Amino acid sequence: MLLYQRNMIIALPLEENNGEKSRISRHFGRSEYFGFVDVENNEIKGYRILKNPFVEHGVGDLPDFIHKNGANILIAYGMGERAIEFFNSYGITVILGVEGNFLEAVKKYLEGNLTGSMEWRGSEEFGHHDRD
């Protein structure tokens, strides 16, 4: 059964540029790279990994960068509430609490089997974003 019958781009923050072995970064705003996975008719057609141009970012820089790269979905481990609001304003669906290999996460998402953990919400590193 296909979950999606449309084309989409799924973005993920990455720890490194290690090709297919790249892993999802635990902190969205501090990730070194972003993966953009092209999906057509529920199949991965390709991906690209781009260096994060906004390691020292202002409010809204990363959501704008991801939007301009055509993403419809963002899969990440965690991020602050303001970043989530920016993504929502662009119509980008945010899925949080996901770790591991980025392509495996996309495959699980497309199969309807992606599960995330809410453990990241208890982390101090994400709490400061809610007070910006």
Q: What is the pLDDT of residues 25-59, one digit of tens each?
A: 998 888 999 999 999 999 999 999 999 998 776 67
Distance (Å, rounded) from C-alpha 59 to C-alpha 64? 10
DSSP assignment letter at 91: T
118: exposed, middle or buried (C-beta count within 10 Å: 0-12, 13-18, 19+)?
exposed
pLDDT band at 6 (very low <50, low <70, confident <90, very high): confident
Query: Would residue 2 count as lying in a domain?
Result: no
Distance (Å, rounded) from C-alpha 81 to C-alpha 20? 30
Q: Is the pLDDT of residue 119 over 70?
A: no
Query: Would residue 52 count as lying in a domain?
Result: yes
**Residue of 127 and 91 predicted with greater confidence:** 91
**Phi, psi dihedral angles at 55 (to 5 degrees):** -60, -40
What CATH number does residue 19 fall under? 3.30.420.130
pLDDT 10s digits, 79-88: 888 889 999 9
Query: Would residue 24 count as lying in a domain?
Result: yes
pLDDT at 110: 94
The whole-model pTM stands at 0.84
Number of domains in the chain: 1
Query: Would residue 3 count as lying in a domain?
Result: no
Query: Would residue 1 count as lying in a domain?
Result: no
Interval 67-95 mean pLDDT: 94
pLDDT at 128: 46
Boundaries of domain holding 92: 8-131
pLDDT band at 118 (very low <50, low <70, confident <90, very high): low
